[in-house]
C-alpha cells in the first residue's frame, strides 16, 4: 500500500476509531477497524519464545493445548554465544513462531544493560557491553522481522532494576546515557530496522519513559529516524497529555478497564474539554495512527501476501540446540576432568535440583509454555543411553514459592500483581512465605545433603547441577545478593571434600557468588537457561560431543558488593537513583580501577588451545567525519580437537582528553578452527570504535592521537597489541 493510500485511510477514520487503534482493547491487542479492512494489532511476549495465550480481558490462561511453543535460550545465553549468525537464526525461529501463532508484534528482545548482576531481569538482557549488545541485537531483530512480524525492543531506556521499577527516577549523565545505555537501541533501530520499541516503566530525569519527549521524540524519532511503533510497557503510562504529546503511539496495560486507559476516553474528554489545542491533538493522534498503519503495511497486514509463519517446526530445534551449545561457558577445567569419557563411567551421580528442573514456566512475562524442555538430567540420560547407570540425588531442597509472581494477590497471574510489588500487603505476604520456606528448607536440605554425599562415594563421576531458578532470576524483583540459594555452597564444599573431582555446573541467567568454593573446584561450567534443548546441549559439552565456545557477556564479580553501583549505594537506591558510576559499568569499571573479578567479561575456555598473534593495523581513512582501520592477526588451533574461540579487539586511547575506560570492546569474531588449523583474520574498525560522547558539543567525537588496539581472549587477557595514529 502506498503512503498516499495510508493517508487516505487516516482521513476516513473517525476519532473513536483512531482512539481504538492507539490503546489496548485486550491485554495484548488493540481494536481494528473492520469497515476499512484494518485488523486489530496483536502482540505477545516475549524474549524466550511466544508466550501462552491469555483470555482477552482476564489474566487467565486460555488453557488449551495450541499455545505450546518453542522455548528459546534466554537473552543472556544468546549473548554468551558471541555469534551473530546464531542470533539471526534464533530471531528467525522467534519471528516465525510469532507469526505462526497469529501475532503481529513479539515483545522482544530485551536489551537493557546489565548495570549490576542483581537486576532480576538480567537473564532477559544481553549483558553489560553496549557493543556486544548492538552486534547481537541487530541480527536478532532482523531474523524476527523476516517473518512479517514486528520486533519490540525493550525497555527504552535505563530500566536497570526491578525494585520500584514503576517509579524509580534515574539520574544519569548524558555521556553515560549515550555511550552505555542507548547504543543497543540505536543499533536495533538504525541497523536492525526494528519496527517496534517499548518504553520503560521507570522515569528518566523526572519523567516516565513511556511518554518522554527527549527519549521518544528527540532521540528516537528525530535523531535515529525511527518510523515504527512506540508501545508503552504494560501499565507504564501515567499522564494523558504527556502520552499524547511526547511520542507514545500505543498504550498497553494490565487492567481490563480498557476505555479508562489514558489514551482512551480520558484523551477524548481532554480534547472535548479543550484542555489541549484541538488541531495539535488531532495531528498527534494522526501521527500515532500513521506509525501503526505504516508498520501494519510493512507487515502485509493491509494488503499483499503475508507470511503464515509456522511453529513447533521440528527443523527449528536444531537451530535452538546449536544456540544452546554455543552459549555454554567452560569456566574452569584445571585437571582436564572434562570432557568426561562415557566409556569409563559405569555409574554416574548427578546431584542438584536444577538437573531435574524445568525453567520455562518461570521468570515473569518471559515465561514459556514449552512444547518440551530437556532438563540436564534427561539430556545426560539421552546422551549416555543404557550402558551407564545414572543416579540422581537432588542434594538441596527447593520449594517453589519465593518470588513476587507466585506470592502476591489472588489473581490467576502475577502480571497484574507485579505492579503492586511495593504495597505493604505484598511485602508482608512475601515475607511470611519466605520464612516458612526457610524453615522447611533447612530440614530437608540436611537430609538431601547426606543422601548425595553417600551416593558420591561409589560413583565413577559426580556432576553437580545447581544455580538459580526463576525465584531469583525474575521480573518484578531484584536479588539481594549474588549468593547461591538453598545452601548450595555448603553442598558443593561437602561434595568436593568427598569427591575433589566433582564437576560443578550452574544453570542461571546472571552471575552468582562462587567465592566459597571456587579455589577448590577443578571443573566448572556455566549453563544459563538455555531453552528447550538446553539439557542435551549441556550433556554434549560435559561428554565432549561439543567443544564449548561460550564467552561471558558480563563480568562475574567476586561479590555483588564489588559492583560499582552497589559500592556507591546506588543500587537499588531510593526513589531516585543516581548512576554515579557514570560510564564505568561492568569491565569498564573493574578494568580501569583494577578491581578483582571472579571471571572477566569475555571469558570462556575450550577443550582445545588457541594461539592468537601478529596483530597489525592499517589506517585506511582518517578524516573528521570518517575513520576506517583494518586490523589483522593470525589465529591457530594448537590442540587436538576442532573448536571455536572468540577473538576480541579492545581499543584504548593512549592520551585521553577526557576520562575514559582503560579499554573498550570494539570488534570481535567467533572463529571455528579444525585441530592444527591456522588462519589470518581481518576485521574493520570504523569511526564508532574511537568515539566518546562530548557533552559540551552534544555529539560523538574522535580526538586525534594514538590508540592502542588490543587483541584479547577476554577483558583481562591481552595477547597482542598494536598502535595506530589519527592525524585529525
Ligand atoms: C513487562 C514487559 C512485558 C509486558 C507484557 C511487563 O510487565 O515489563 O517486558 O512485555 O509486561 O507482558
Q: Whose CA is nearest to atom 2 of ligand 1?
A: 233
CA of 97 to the centre of ligand 1 (A): 19
Q: Is the CB of 476 under 6 A from ligand 1?
A: no
Q: Is the CB of 124 under 6 A from ligand 1?
A: no
Task: Assign 80 a pLDDT band (cuts: 50, 70, 90).
Answer: very high
CA of 154 to the centre of ligand 1 (A): 9
How confident is the model at residue 67, as a pLDDT? 97
Active-site pick, 25, 148, 169, 233: 233
What would the grid cell of residue 709 be?
588496539
Strand partners, 631: 617, 683
Report d(CA 647, CA 668) in Å as an integer: 5
**Strands across the sheet containing 105-106:** 43-44, 105-106, 150-151
pLDDT (tens digit, 9 = 90+) per residue, 396-409?
Answer: 998 764 445 554 44
Q: Whose CA is nearest to atom 3 of ligand 1?
A: 365
Examine the pLDDT at 426 and tell me if it is beyond 80.
Answer: no
pLDDT (tens digit, 9 = 90+) per residue, 635-690?
Answer: 999 999 999 999 999 999 999 999 999 999 999 999 999 999 999 999 999 999 99
Q: Which atom of ligand 1 is nearest to the CA of 415?
A: 7
pLDDT, greater one: 46 or 235: 235
How confident is the model at residue 421, as a pLDDT? 63
Q: Is the CB of 365 under 6 A from ligand 1?
A: yes
Whole-model pTM: value is 0.96
Q: Is the CB of 298 under 6 A from ligand 1?
A: no
CA of 625 to the centre of ligand 1 (A): 40
Report d(CA 258, CA 412) in Å as an integer: 19
What burial letters (b/e) apply to 394-404, b meaning 16+ CB within 10 Å?
bbbbbeeebbb
Q: Is the CB of 196 under 6 A from ligand 1?
A: no
Report d(CA 150, CA 439) in Å as an integer: 47
Q: Is the CB of 162 under 6 A from ligand 1?
A: no
How confident is the model at residue 339, as a pLDDT? 98
pLDDT (tens digit, 9 = 90+) per residue, 140-178?
Answer: 999 999 999 999 999 999 999 999 999 999 999 999 999
How confident is the model at residue 433, as a pLDDT? 77
Best of 27, 46, 120 for a ligand 1 pocket test (most atoms within 8 Å of beta carbon):
46
Q: Mind giving me the DSSP string for 199-247?
A: E-SSEETTEEGGG-IIIIIIIIIIIT---SEEE--TT----HHHHHHTT
Segment 562-572 mean pLDDT:
95
Segment 445-463 mean pLDDT:
97
How confident is the model at residue 407, as a pLDDT? 45
Coil, strand, or helix at residue 675?
A: coil
151 membership: H or E segment, kind and range? strand 150-151
Q: Whose CA is nearest to atom 8 of ligand 1?
A: 233
Segment 409-431 mean pLDDT:
67
Active site residue 239: no
How confident is the model at residue 414, as a pLDDT? 66
- The answer to whether the beta carbons of residues 564 and 361 sit under 8 Å apart is no
Q: Is the CB of 570 under 6 A from ligand 1?
A: no
Amino acid at each position: 500500500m502506498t503512503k498516499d493510500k495510508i493517508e487516505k485511510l487516516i482521513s476516513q477514520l473517525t476519532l473513536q476509531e483512531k482512539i481504538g487503534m492507539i490503546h489496548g482493547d485486550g491485554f495484548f491487542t488493540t481494536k481494528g477497524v473492520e469497515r476499512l479492512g484494518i485488523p486489530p494489532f496483536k502482540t505477545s511476549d516475549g524474549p524466550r519464545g511466544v508466550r501462552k495465550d491469555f483470555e482477552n480481558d482476564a489474566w487467565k490462561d486460555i488453557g488449551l493445548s495450541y499455545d505450546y511453543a518453542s522455548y528459546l535460550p534466554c537473552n543472556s545465553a544468546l549473548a554468551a554465544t558471541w555469534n551473530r549468525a546464531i542470533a539471526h537464526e534464533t530471531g528467525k525461529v522467534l519471528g516465525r513462531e510469532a507469526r505462526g501463532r497469529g501475532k503481529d508484534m513479539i515483545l522482544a528482545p530485551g536489551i537493557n544493560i546489565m548495570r549490576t548482576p542483581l537486576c532480576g531481569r538480567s537473564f532477559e538482557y544481553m549483558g553489560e557491553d553496549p557493543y556486544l549488545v548492538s552486534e547481537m541485537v541487530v541480527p536478532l531483530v532482523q531474523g524476527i522481522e523476516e517473518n512479517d512480524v514486528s520486533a519490540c525492543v525493550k525497555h527504552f531506556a535505563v530500566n536497570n532494576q526491578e525494585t520500584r521499577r514503576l517509579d524509580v527516577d534515574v539520574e544519569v549523565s548524558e555521556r553515560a546515557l549515550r555511550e552505555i545505555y542507548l547504543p543497543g537501541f540505536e543499533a536495533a533501530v538504525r541497523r536492525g530496522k526494528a519496527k517496534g520499541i517499548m518504553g520503560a516503566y521507570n522515569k528518566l530525569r523526572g519523567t516516565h519513559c513511556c511518554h518522554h519527549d527527549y527519549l521518544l521524540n528527540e532521540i528516537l524519532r528525530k535523531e535515529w529516524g525511527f518510523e515504527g511503533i512506540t508501545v508503552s510497557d504494560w501499565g507504564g503510562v501515567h499522564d494523558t497529555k504527556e502520552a499524547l504529546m511526547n511520542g507514545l503511539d500505543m498504550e498497553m496495560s494490565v487492567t481490563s478497564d480498557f476505555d479508562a486507559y489514558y489514551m482512551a476516553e480520558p484523551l477524548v474528554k481532554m480534547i472535548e474539554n479543550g484542555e489541549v489545542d484541538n488541531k495539535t491533538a488531532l495531528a498527534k493522534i494522526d501521527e500515532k495512527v500513521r506509525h501503526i498503519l505504516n508498520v501494519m503495511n510493512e507487515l502485509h497486514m493491509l494488503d499483499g501476501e503475508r507470511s503464515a509463519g509456522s511453529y513447533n517446526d521440528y527443523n527449528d530445534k536444531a537451530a535452538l540446540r546449536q544456540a544452546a551449545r554455543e552459549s555454554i561457558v567452560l569456566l574452569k577445567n584445571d585437571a582436564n576432568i572434562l570432557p568426561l569419557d562415557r566409556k569409563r563411567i559405569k555409574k554416574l551421580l548427578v546431584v542438584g535440583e536444577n538437573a531435574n528442573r524445568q525453567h520455562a514456566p518461570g521468570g515473569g512475562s518471559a515465561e514459556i509454555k514449552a512444547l518440551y524442555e530437556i532438563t540436564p538430567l534427561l539430556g545426560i540420560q539421552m546422551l549416555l543411553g543404557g550402558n551407564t547407570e545414572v543416579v540422581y540425588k537432588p542434594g538441596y531442597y527447593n520449594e517453589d514459592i519465593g518470588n513476587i509472581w507466585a506470592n502476591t494477590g489472588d489473581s490467576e497471574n502475577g502480571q497484574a500483581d507485579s505492579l503492586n510489588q511495593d504495597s505493604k500487603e505484598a511485602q508482608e505476604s512475601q515475607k511470611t512465605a519466605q520464612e516458612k520456606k526457610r524453615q522447611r528448607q533447612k530440614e530437608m536440605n540436611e537430609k538431601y545433603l547426606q543422601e548425595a554425599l553417600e551416593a558420591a562415594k561409589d560413583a565413577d563421576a559426580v556432576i553437580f547441577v545447581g544455580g538459580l531458578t526463576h525465584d531469583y532470576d525474575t521480573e518484578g524483583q531484584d536479588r539481594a545478593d549474588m549468593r547461591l540459594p538453598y545452601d548450595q555452597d555448603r553442598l558443593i564444599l561437602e561434595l568436593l571434600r568427598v569427591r575433589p573431582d566433582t564437576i560443578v555446573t550452574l544453570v542461571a541467567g546472571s552471575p552468582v557468588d562462587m567465592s566459597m568454593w571456587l579455589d577448590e573446584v577443578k571443573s566448572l561450567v556455566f549453563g544459563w537457561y538455555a531453552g528447550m534443548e538446553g539439557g542435551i546441549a549441556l550433556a554434549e559439552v560435559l561428554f565432549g560431543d561439543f567443544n564449548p565456545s561460550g564467552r561471558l557477556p558480563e563480568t562475574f564479580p567476586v561479590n555483588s558488593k564489588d559492583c560499582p553501583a552497589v559500592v556507591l549505594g546506588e543500587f537499588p537506591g531510593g526513589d531516585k537513583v543516581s548512576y554515579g558510576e557514570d560510564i564505568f559499568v561492568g569491565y569498564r569499571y573493574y578494568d580501569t580501577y583494577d578491581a578483582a573479578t571472579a571471571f572477566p567479561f569475555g571469558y570462556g575456555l575450550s577443550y582445545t588451545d588457541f594461539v592468537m598473534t601478529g596483530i597489525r593495523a592499517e589506517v585506511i581513512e582518517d578524516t573528521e567525519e570518517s575513520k576506517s582501520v583494518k586490523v589483522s592477526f593470525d589465529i591457530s588451533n594448537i590442540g587436538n580437537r576442532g573448536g571455536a574461540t572468540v577473538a576480541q579487539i579492545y581499543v584504548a586511547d593512549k592520551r585521553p582528553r577526557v576520562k575514559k575506560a582503560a579499554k573498550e570492546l570494539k570488534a570481535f569474531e567467533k572463529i571455528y578452527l579444525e585441530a592444527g588449523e591456522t588462519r589470518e583474520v581481518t576485521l574493520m574498525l570504523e569511526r564508532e570504535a574511537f568515539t566518546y560522547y562530548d557533552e559540551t558539543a552534544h555529539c560523538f567525537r574522535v580526538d586525534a592521537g594514538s590508540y592502542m588496539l588490543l587483541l584479547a581472549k577476554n577483558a583481562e587477557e591481552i595477547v597482542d597489541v598494536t598502535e595506530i595514529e589519527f592525524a585529525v
